[in-house]
């Protein structure tokens, strides 16, 4: 297939591009800069320079390429997240998920592409009931106003992609990324906080995280590109885990001291409502469907092994 990748230079894009090429696809990567274009060409793919918020440039690029499939991997999460203002760090990513998705979908449909695969997250499920969610479960529609825009933007992306009429939409809900270039890599922002013992287990730490290594996320994405839409897959490892279980093991993998514990009120004061939600209420996700339908299994089935062997 001829595959157009928006977000080719990002954390997941850098893993995905080589895997698409290795699978035999003709791959075109999109970036906003000449530097990005050089990076894409050095991976062995073709590059186009366009901003997703410039529909004229985007449509022209897509009309030139005429892809069979378009992959949406656009986010703009700051490299260093200010945990005291966690909720306000996602404005640009929200815009990429709402307006950016609309622009990309339109350009893809107008150019005659058959399939549209988009990045979502496995940590937007409603925090009610079971600790581990399947694709059938509800997304979080009633989040508190402070962090509701984040969940609303994810829901908008999924609605647009899965409801598209002129193109088959596939959504991949990735777990928390780790690996080179992520916040959990040994030079990443979470690692720095954990080393400084400023990432405690808050409020008992019963919030559930599902992780996925970037290489495994890319492999599942290549497989999902071959599936008909509309369709949704959780792309996570085999072991959803409460914060109180994974955080000490992550600290150990970094060679850091054991994290402190902190009460919920202190966590809320220091890091805000959303951080407290992540620590205490968030649900994990199941990869049963992805494994059954994609012929995929993660090379790092558990973060226990992945943190030690491939943190980046
Ligand atoms: N599931 C998860 O845990 C998850 C999901 C996403 C991100 N993250 C984390 O967030 C951090 C940053 O990663 P990231 O992927 O957001 O940032 P990134 O690595 O800087 O990548 C963002 C990608 O989106 C492109 N992009 C952004 N705005 C664009 C626009 N207006 N028009 C066209 N392209 C645009 C960028 O292209 P150019 O800059 O080349 O133009 C780049 O390819 C990492 O730590 C990553 O692990 C985590």
Q: Which CATH number characterizes residue 50's domain?
A: 3.40.50.720
Lowest mean pLDDT among 76-85, 93-102, 127-136, 239-248: 76-85
pLDDT given for residue 157 in this prediction: 98
Output the pLDDT for position 276. 95
Task: Using the mean position of ligand 1's atoms as its centre, give its distance from the Cα of residue 130 in Å.
Answer: 31
For ligand 1, is residue 36 a contact (CB within 6 Å)?
Answer: yes
Task: Please give the residue that has the higher pLDDT: either 179 or 87.
Answer: 179
pLDDT at position 87: 66
Ligand 1 centroid to 115 CA: how many Å? 21
Mean pLDDT over 114-129 rounds to: 98
Q: What is the pLDDT of residue 86?
A: 65
Residue 229 Cα distances to 32, 130, 155, angstroms: 29, 27, 17
> For residue 173, what pLDDT band results from cuts at 50, 70 and 90?
very high
- How many C-beta atoms surround the C-beta of residue 138 within 10 A? 12
Total of domains in the chain? 1
Instruction: Report the separation in Å between the CA atom of 35 and the middle of ligand 1, taken as the mean of its atom positions.
Output: 15
pLDDT at residue 89, as a whole number: 85
Question: How far is Cα 311 from Cα 307, in angstroms, rounded to an integer?
Answer: 5
Q: Is the pLDDT of residue 275 over 80?
A: yes
* Ligand 1 near 31 CB (within 6 A): yes
Asked if residue 134 has pLDDT above 70, the reply is: yes
On the question of pLDDT at 251 being above 90, the answer is yes
Give the C-alpha separation, 24 to 73, whole Å: 20
**Please, what is the average pLDDT of the chain?**
96
Q: Where are the beta strands (DSSP E) in 25-163?
A: 26-31, 46-49, 69-72, 115-121, 132-133
Q: In 35-143, at which residue ranges do the beta strands (DSSP E only) sit?
A: 46-49, 69-72, 115-121, 132-133
| Ligand 1 site, residue 40, Cβ cutoff 6 A | no
Q: Do 53 and 42 form a contact (C-beta atoms < 8 A)?
A: no
Is the minimum distance from the CB of 88 to ligand 1 under 6 angstroms? no
Domain housing 115 = 2-310
Ligand 1 lined by 183 (C-beta under 6 Å): yes
pTM of the shown model: 0.97
Q: Is the CB of 29 under 6 A from ligand 1?
A: no
Atom of ligand 1 nearest to the CA of 76: 16
pLDDT of 81 reads 73
Mutation test of ligand 1: which of 5, 52, 74, 284 has the most ligand atoms closer than 8 Å to its C-beta? 74
**H/E run at residue 193:** helix 189-195
Whether 51 lines ligand 1, by a CB cut-off of 6 Å, is: yes
Do 146 and 86 meet the contact criterion of CB atoms below 8 Å apart?
A: no
The helix (run of H) or strand (run of E) holding residue 109 is helix 101-110
Confidence at residue 126, expressed as pLDDT on a 0 to 100 scale: 98
Average the pLDDT over 236-244 and give the result.
98
Q: Per-residue b/e over 209-226, b at no fewer than 16 CB within 10 Å?
A: bbbbbbbbbbbbbbbbbe
- Which two tokens mark 113? 């592409």
pLDDT tens-digit map of 180-231: 999 999 999 999 999 999 999 999 999 999 999 999 999 999 999 999 999 9
Mean of pLDDT values over 256-279: 95
**Per-residue pLDDT tens digits for 70-97:** 999 999 998 887 766 666 789 999 999 9
pLDDT over threshold 80, residue 42: yes
């Amino acid at each position: 297939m001829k595959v157009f990748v928006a977000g080719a230079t990002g954390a997941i894009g850098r893993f995905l591009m080589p895997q698409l090429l290795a699978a035999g696809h003709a791959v075109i990567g999109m970036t906003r800069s000449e530097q990005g274009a050089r990076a894409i060409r050095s991976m062995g793919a073709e590059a186009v320079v366009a901003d997703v918020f410039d529909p004229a440039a985007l449509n022209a690029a897509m009309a030139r390429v005429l892809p069979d499939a378009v992959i949406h991997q656009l986010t703009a999460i700051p490299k260093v997240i200010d945990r005291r203002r966690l909720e306000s760090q996602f404005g640009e990513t929200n815009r990429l998920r709402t307006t950016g998705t609309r622009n990309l979908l339109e350009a893809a449909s107008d150019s005659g592409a058959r399939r549209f695969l988009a990045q979502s997250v496995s940590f937007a499920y409603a925090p009610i009931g079971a600790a581990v969610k399947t694709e059938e479960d509800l997304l979080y529609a009633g989040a508190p106003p402070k962090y509701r825009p984040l969940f609303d933007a994810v829901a908008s992306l999924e609605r647009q992609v899965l409801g598209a009429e002129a193109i088959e939409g596939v959504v991949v809900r990735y777990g928390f990324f780790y690996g080179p270039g992520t916040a959990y890599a040994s030079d990443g922002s979470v690692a720095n906080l954990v080393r400084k013992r400023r990432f405690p287990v808050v409020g008992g730490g019963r919030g559930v995280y599902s992780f996925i290594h970037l290489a495994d996320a890319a492999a599942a994405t290549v497989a999902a590109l071959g599936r008909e839409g509309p369709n949704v897959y959780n792309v996570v490892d085999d072991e959803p885990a409460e914060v109180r279980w994974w955080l000490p093991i992550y600290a150990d993998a970094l060679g850091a001291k054991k994290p402190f514990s902190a009460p919920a009120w202190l966590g809320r004061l220091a890091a805000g409502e959303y951080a407290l939600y992540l620590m205490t209420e968030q649900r994990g996700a199941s990869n049963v469907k992805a494994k059954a339908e994609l012929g995929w299994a993660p090379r790092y089935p558990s973060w226990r092994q992945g943190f030690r062997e491939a943190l980046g």
